[in-house]
Structure 1
């Protein structure tokens, strides 16, 4: 059965059964929404969120019996407490399909929604949307055959007062044999190694298609930082890739250094941020708030109309190359990334997620 994913099939009748999980209806049970009582009385917004999420705790947001498809995830949380503005890196989102032991998704909460550096910014794309004041939305379809489990772990030093979420999904009679599973993986290097490409993802084994990249890039050196090419090594590529771009800002649809003044001795206005359905540069922070931070950038590229298909394996990298208006040069920055893809199961285990102190932004 093909499940509905967009406007192209919205007119077709379906055997899907719509369900939704929230803190108030954690099982997505039929007729079980809106029952909790508050000071306003019965069925009046009695449990809209998870309260007082403890440091070191793991909350199970959803456990769903399949077959089914998660269609939409909405979440929000305050991104700062008395312990500091690291909440979006301290919360780790994990997803498991069909009773697997290793997660298919393991990403800090903010980065999953293209809000890296533990900083909020608005994103207006097709699969990821972030709207004021920190409403995180994901529309990547996430099919599962037997069951789905979604958890969130808090490594923040103090309680998270309130965590809001809603997971909208459909139960379906069956899934076609060629339906692939959603995956997302986070990585970081601080700093990167000179003359060695940063690895966005590798050790993907199986058949599938790569659908997106998010980059949270901290520029540790002077001058323009984004000359590096994004490369996709497909099905046995070794030294040279099958797909190689022309530059980092080009990969996300931009040009001419986003008009970044750091790339020239001339004077330009600040770079212009943008957010579009399939590519964007939604965050530019020049570090001029008096705290001595290096400039930070956030970029995304969705391969939705143009997925990168692989039959056996895939590796994706990006170079760190800059220029100073006179010549290109090798550079070293601090980069975090999220890779998004679909593939057949089983998948290879992910590298161990760095501990909290290694995830905190510079």
Structure 2
């Protein structure tokens, strides 16, 4: 989400990652010929990686005298690695990483955090796997407008994230097992002059085990302020033995003082992500369900409100009904 401030008789586990954005993809240079063939004055390109963690000019690959020397690192249990820490204005354009261990425990135990403009409070503090769409402990092969994993061995995000005075990105290992290999690069531009009304990117993660029948699952708990709800990545695990249809509930968006009744309401889970009459596996640009395993009851889906923005001026809350098959 973008924000102004830096089952009938079915039980399920639901996890949700909420995304907030500050501007559209076109304004970030994806879909505009003008952006492709313009070089903004004073804007420079930098990459942060273990070969140049400070993303400093003329200082990449120095560790092994120009040979490949520090492509990866380890993260011990309880350790936090800083992947990027820069000052000044800029925009993160792309985040790529891969890890040797991609089991469910590690995907959930690695915590990705992002801080804007020297804030002590992270705008993003979520499990790494969920951030990149692996919300049920499994990384699928998929590609959409914001995230991709071409062979289910890597994580890529091309969602632009602007900042005015600085950015810091960290990964922490909250497990009791060493992460043996992590490779990454964060590609960003620096020197932009952002408009006064620019919003900041935020992400929120939550889960319930198990959800409660007839009680709405909150994708986004109520937040105050103005901004834009960009969309969500959601994972569902059905309770063993309950492998029937579970997704008849409607997505509801409460905006700007809505109390009992929402302003926006859909017609069912599969309808919300662009399909109908049940749910299969697919991945489209703004909506999809990369994992739809009916035998094991595992589902991972997303919806990004890029062509159909959801703005709010005072507050926003997003839920989905828990009514199973209706």
TM-score in terms of structure 2 length: 0.87
Asked whether the 8 Å contact 1:286–1:296 carries over to 2, the reply is yes
Partner of 2:38: 12
Asked whether the 8 Å contact 2:216–2:320 carries over to 1, the reply is yes
Superposition RMSD on alpha carbons, in Å? 1.5
Please show how residues 328-347 of structure 1 align to structure 2 within 5 Å. 328=326
Partner of 1:320: 322
2:253 corresponds to 1:232: yes
Quick one: which of 283, 301, 319 aligns to 2:291? 283
Partner of 1:337: none
Asked whether the 8 Å contact 2:247–2:269 carries over to 1, the reply is yes
Partner of 1:146: 165
2:211 corresponds to 1:187: no
Q: Tell me the matched-pair count.
A: 296
Quick one: which of 309, 329, 354 aligns to 2:311? 309
Q: CA deviation at 1:168?
A: 0.4
Q: CA deviation at 1:59?
A: 1.1
Q: CA deviation at 1:11?
A: 1.7
Partner of 2:272: 251
Partner of 2:68: 45
Q: CA deviation at 1:31?
A: 1.3
Q: CA deviation at 1:92?
A: 0.6
SS of residue paired to 2:69: coil
In 1, Cα distance between equivalents of 2:254 and 2:246 = 23
Q: CA deviation at 1:250?
A: 0.8
| Deviation digits for residues 170-204 of structure 1 (CA, Å, limit 9, x no counterpart) | 11242110111000110000001221100011232
Asked whether the 8 Å contact 1:5–1:141 carries over to 2, the reply is no
Asked whether the 8 Å contact 1:79–1:85 carries over to 2, the reply is no
| Deviation digits for residues 81-127 of structure 1 (CA, Å, limit 9, x no counterpart) | xxx64110010101111111221111100100111122111221011
Asked whether the 8 Å contact 1:95–1:150 carries over to 2, the reply is yes
In 2, Cα distance between equivalents of 1:113 and 1:85 = 13
Alpha carbons of 1:222 and 1:283: their partners in 2 closer, same or farther (altered >3 Å)?
A: closer
| Deviation digits for residues 44-81 of structure 1 (CA, Å, limit 9, x no counterpart) | 21000122x1001111111111211001000111234x
In 1, Cα distance between equivalents of 2:264 and 2:222 = 17
| Deviation digits for residues 138-181 of structure 1 (CA, Å, limit 9, x no counterpart) | 11111111111111110122111111110000112421101110
Q: CA deviation at 1:321?
A: 1.8
Unaligned runs of 5+ in 1: 259-271, 288-293, 329-362
Alpha carbons of 1:167 and 1:245: their partners in 2 closer, same or farther (altered >3 Å)?
A: same
In 2, Cα distance between equivalents of 1:5 and 1:239 = 40
Asked whether the 8 Å contact 1:4–1:10 carries over to 2, the reply is no
Larger Rg: 1
Please show how residues 25-174 of structure 1 align to structure 2 within 5 Å. 25-37=52-64, 42-51=65-74, 53-80=75-102, 85-174=104-193
Alpha carbons of 1:133 and 1:45: their partners in 2 closer, same or farther (altered >3 Å)?
A: farther
Unaligned runs of 5+ in 2: 1-22
